[in-house]
Amino acid sequence: MNIIKIIFSTFVILSCSEQQIWQEIESGKTVKVTSKNFKINNSSNYIYKWSKPISKDSAQLDYRIEHDKLLFTPITNGEYQIILEIENMMKEKVHEEIFFFNVINESNQQYSSKDISTDKKNAPIKKEVVINNTYTIQVASHKSIEKAKNDMNELIEKGFDAYIEDYFDNKNNIQRWRVRIGSFKNKQLAMEVKKKLSKFRGENPWIAYIK
């Protein structure tokens, strides 16, 4: 808890010199976060490094990274920050951006005495927030970003929604780049795309679960 508060405070201090634009959003609704200041024609030539949404206190949230965008669903009210760093293929940082969100619950409105009813039928209905699970197809994992990029471009030419995701292999102490396809709401749809993929690659990719 204290570590999260320290990190949050540090980001606030570092960003004081920049204009902070807070976006007000409603809890339980998904917001697509994309760079507002980094405009390019081909995002596949860059690596997008998103931070997990950061809050001062313990917060319930769901998020999903899809290359050049992050889908953010806050459950708990409060203030959040998301950090984006963009690198080129030489792993040089070319852009950094911070997003600020103030999450509120719009259903908590003030009513006059005329609006208040003791009739249970007319009472406000509390909405239940449902988190949608997501699946992606893991195609390959490369030690070279160039190989990963070539693999991704080949898949895109075949009509697949491919993207690159970098990660550090702690077991072997090496940087690697995953090549993945799509963001599927259900596993059955991911299985259908996987079968099509296996036909021309002659491999058996696996389906990864993303919360």
Read off the pTM: 0.49
**Rounded to the nearest 5 degrees, what angle is found at the Cα of 174, between the Cα atoms of 152 and 155?**
5
Task: Find the largest Cα–Cα distance for the chain.
Answer: 69
Q: Are residues 179 and 96 in the same domain?
A: no
Q: Does 206 fall in a domain? A: yes
Closest-CA residue to 137 (of 156, 169, 163): 163
Q: Does 45 fall in a domain? A: yes
Give, as one character, the DSSP assignment of residue 110. Answer: -
Q: Does 51 fall in a domain? A: yes
At residue 125, does pLDDT exceed 90? no
Tens-digit pLDDT profile for residues 75-107: 888 899 999 999 988 889 999 999 999 988 865
pLDDT band at 8 (very low <50, low <70, confident <90, very high): very low
Using alpha carbons, list the distances in angstroms from residue 91 to 44, 81, 122, 162: 14, 24, 58, 20
Average pLDDT over residues 2-27: 57
Length of the chain: 211
Tens-digit pLDDT profile for residues 186-199: 888 888 888 888 88
Taking the C-alpha atoms of residue 1 and residue 5, their distance in angstroms, rounded to an integer, is 6
Tell me the CATH number at 164: 3.30.70.1070
Taking the C-alpha atoms of residue 155 and residue 128, their distance in angstroms, rounded to an integer, is 38
Instruction: Kindly give, in sequence order, each residue whose CB lies less than 8 Å from that of residue 210, ignoring residues fewer than 6 positions away.
Output: 64, 133, 134, 135, 136, 183
